[in-house]
């Protein structure tokens, strides 16, 4: 068996750690070629000591100096680099054939795009990268000729439920009618909006079913996450937006579904554990042990589904509107949301002001055709500035 050489963008995060957990159990199949992190140098050092990658990347020079020191003490001869160009170098290195894209947010765009262009197998967790650059990213994958495996649990589920030919090129003869994305509804699913004004970051991050990084946890509470996922599904699977539906499913057992023309609905089920989609992406088309307990249907009280209430989840409504608008609207949606969520987590922006900042910002940014990386990066930068100004005005009032 040919051993896969895996680079992990964001190895110290929730997806990164779960990826290493799967790799650890299958040393004959996978070797770690590169590990990258933002600022968590100590955790990255531990990972390098265990997995001995060729390359490790951190955000800045000071982090690189500390990491080098820690690795020299342990006689690990991993090459230590820093900065965004180094992320690109790590994933395009000829030793690596598989890239787990698990940086959170727009910071992951350039290396993920580079991995696509370089024809690597891309395991896509970093949905923000695809939402920002949709068409451009899918073109880069096509030109690079590598495989794109969705890691987001819903999209991984849909990938599993679709005919394999359809995941290569959407074909109307295959009878795919609709994609049904499930959503837990987050910790405030049943809490009236007027009780959410004093919500703290820790309360918003306490997801009922999944353990995840803080940004995506807040996005799950506001359901912006599902909005980003609708846009993600649109690009990944090539169906019109009106055929992509969201269902609130509090138990997080059915990870998503495909409805077919003949009346069949195919669902993928499992424990809410990201190691299942990660193992699927790593080993595809084979299946390997992911370390995940088997699902026991008899121990489940019930499975329930309902339509989302858009007045309860204004972020989901904003995402639908941006998806409809197309062009750079999703780029701006993502940037405004990143700024608003960061301000909620770190700078005292009240929880209920997240959709307010996103909406005001989107109203102030003109939609353009998303036809080049320059335009996308320009809209991203411009939107962040406008969103930051709205945050400032709210926080200082
Ligand atoms: P996390 O916050 O736990 O980890 C993020 C990783 O990115 C860390 O390694 C961090 O060091 C790195 N990072 C952050 N900013 C960086 C920067 N500027 N430059 C370089 N590296 C940087 O996040 P997570 O929960 O693991 O999520 C990662 C991605 O996967 C997100 O896009 C998220 O939407 C997606 N995702 C996560 C889950 C989940 O269960 N956690 C599920 C589906 C999709
Ligand atoms: Mg998801």
Distance in angstroms (rounded) separating the CA atoms of residues 184 and 171:
30
Residues with Cβ–ion distance below 5 A, ligand 2: 152-154
Residues 162 and 297 placed together within one structural domain of the fold: yes
Domain termination residue (choose one: 285, 308, 331): 308
Residues 103 and 165 placed together within one structural domain of the fold: no
Long-range contacts of 172-176 (CB under 8 A, 24+ apart): 175/260, 175/261, 175/262, 176/239, 176/258, 176/259, 176/260, 176/261
Is residue 373, in this structure, part of any structural domain at all?
A: no
CB 278 near ligand 1, within 6 Å: no
Domain termination residue (choose one: 273, 290, 308): 308
Q: How many domains does the chain have?
A: 2
Is residue 26, in this structure, part of any structural domain at all?
A: yes
How far is the centre of ligand 2, averaged over its atoms, from the C-alpha of 397 (Å)?
Answer: 35
CB 103 near ligand 1, within 6 Å: yes
Residues 115 and 161 placed together within one structural domain of the fold: no
What integer pLDDT is reported at residue 226 of this predicted model? Answer: 98
Would you give per-residue pLDDT tens digits along the chain (397 residues)?
789 999 999 999 999 999 999 999 999 999 999 999 999 999 999 999 999 999 999 999 999 999 999 999 999 999 999 999 999 999 999 999 999 999 999 999 999 999 999 999 999 999 999 999 999 999 999 999 999 999 999 999 999 999 999 999 989 899 999 999 999 999 999 999 999 999 999 999 998 888 899 999 999 999 999 999 999 999 999 999 999 999 999 999 999 999 999 999 999 999 999 999 999 999 999 999 999 999 999 998 899 999 999 999 999 999 999 999 999 999 999 999 999 999 999 999 999 999 999 999 999 999 999 999 999 999 999 999 999 999 999 999 8
Residues 114 and 242 placed together within one structural domain of the fold: no
In this prediction the pTM is 0.98
CB 128 near ligand 1, within 6 Å: yes
How far is the centre of ligand 2, averaged over its atoms, from the C-alpha of 154 (Å)?
Answer: 5
* Ligand 1 site-directed mutation target among 8, 9, 15, 42, most atoms within 8 Å of CB: 15
Residues 128 and 69 placed together within one structural domain of the fold: yes
Distance in angstroms (rounded) separating the CA atoms of residues 381 and 107:
12
How far is the centre of ligand 2, averaged over its atoms, from the C-alpha of 18 (Å)?
Answer: 15
Nearest Cα residue to atom 19 of ligand 1: 38
Domain termination residue (choose one: 125, 150, 175): 150
Residues 157 and 84 placed together within one structural domain of the fold: no
Instruction: List, in sequence order, every residue forming a beta bridge with 181; answer none if it has no partner.
Output: 246, 256
Q: Which two tokens stand for residue 153?
A: 């649990």
Instruction: Return the SS3 of 111.
Output: helix
Is residue 391, in this structure, part of any structural domain at all?
A: no
CB 126 near ligand 1, within 6 Å: yes
Is the CB of residue 323 less than 8 Å from the CB of residue 367?
no
Q: How many CA atoms does the CB half-sphere of 295 hold within 13 Å?
A: 15
The 8-class DSSP code of residue 311 comes to T
Is residue 64, in this structure, part of any structural domain at all?
A: yes
Residue 26 lies in domain: 4-150
CB 187 near ligand 1, within 6 Å: no
Nearest Cα residue to atom 2 of ligand 1: 213
What integer pLDDT is reported at residue 136 of this predicted model? Answer: 98
Residues 109 and 159 placed together within one structural domain of the fold: no
What integer pLDDT is reported at residue 101 of this predicted model? Answer: 98
Residues 251 and 141 placed together within one structural domain of the fold: no
What integer pLDDT is reported at residue 301 of this predicted model? Answer: 86
CB 109 near ligand 1, within 6 Å: no
Residues 256 and 145 placed together within one structural domain of the fold: no
Nearest Cα residue to atom 41 of ligand 1: 212
Residues 140 and 227 placed together within one structural domain of the fold: no
How far is the centre of ligand 2, averaged over its atoms, from the C-alpha of 11 (Å)?
Answer: 18
Which CATH number fits the domain that encloses residue 74?
Answer: 3.40.50.720
CB 220 near ligand 1, within 6 Å: no
Residues 78 and 128 placed together within one structural domain of the fold: yes
What integer pLDDT is reported at residue 229 of this predicted model? Answer: 98
Distance in angstroms (rounded) separating the CA atoms of residues 123 and 8:
9
CB 383 near ligand 1, within 6 Å: no
Residues 29 and 168 placed together within one structural domain of the fold: no
């Amino acid at each position: 068996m040919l051993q896969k050489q895996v680079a992990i963008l964001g190895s110290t995060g929730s997806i990164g750690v779960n990826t290493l957990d799967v790799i650890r159990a299958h040393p004959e199949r996978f070797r770690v070629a590169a590990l990258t992190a933002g600022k968590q140098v100590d955790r990255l050092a531990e990972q390098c000591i265990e997995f001995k990658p060729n390359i490790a990347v951190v955000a800045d020079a000071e982090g690189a100096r500390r990491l080098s020191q820690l690795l020299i003490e342990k006689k690990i001869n991993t090459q230590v680099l820093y900065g965004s160009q180094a992320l690109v170098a790590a994933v395009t290195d000829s030793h690596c054939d598989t890239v787990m894209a698990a940086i959170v947010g727009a910071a992951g765009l350039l290396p993920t795009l580079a991995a696509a262009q370089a024809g690597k197998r891309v395991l896509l967790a970093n949905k923000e990268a695809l939402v920002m650059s949709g068409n451009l990213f899918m073109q880069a994958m096509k030109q690079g000729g590598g495989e794109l495996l969705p890691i987001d649990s819903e999209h991984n589920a849909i990938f599993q439920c679709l005919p394999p030919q359809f995941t290569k090129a959407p074909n109307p003869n295959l009878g795919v009618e609709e994609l049904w994305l499930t959503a837990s509804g987050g910790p405030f699913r049943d809490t009236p909006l007027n009780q959410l004004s004093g919500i703290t970051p820790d309360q918003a991050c306490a997801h009922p079913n999944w353990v995840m990084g803080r940004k995506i946890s807040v996005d799950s509470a506001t359901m912006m996450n599902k909005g980003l996922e609708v846009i993600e599904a649109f690009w990944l699977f090539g169906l019109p937006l009106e055929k992509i539906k969201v269902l609130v499913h509090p138990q997080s057992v059915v990870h998503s579904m495909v409805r077919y023309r003949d009346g069949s609905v195919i669902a993928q089920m499992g424990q809410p554990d990201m190691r299942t989609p990660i193992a699927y992406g790593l080993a595809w088309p084979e299946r390997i042990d992911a370390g995940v307990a088997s699902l026991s249907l008899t121990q489940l009280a019930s499975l329930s589904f309902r339509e989302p209430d858009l007045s309860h989840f204004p972020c989901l409504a904003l995402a639908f509107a941006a998806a409809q608008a197309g062009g750079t609207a999703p780029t701006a949606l993502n940037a405004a949301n990143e700024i608003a969520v960061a301000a909620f987590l770190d700078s005292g922006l009240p929880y209920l002001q997240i959709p307010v900042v996103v909406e005001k910002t989107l109203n102030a940014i003109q939609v353009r055709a998303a036809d080049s990386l320059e335009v996308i990066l320009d809209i991203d930068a411009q939107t962040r500035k406008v969103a930051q100004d709205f945050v400032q005005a709210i926080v200082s009032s």
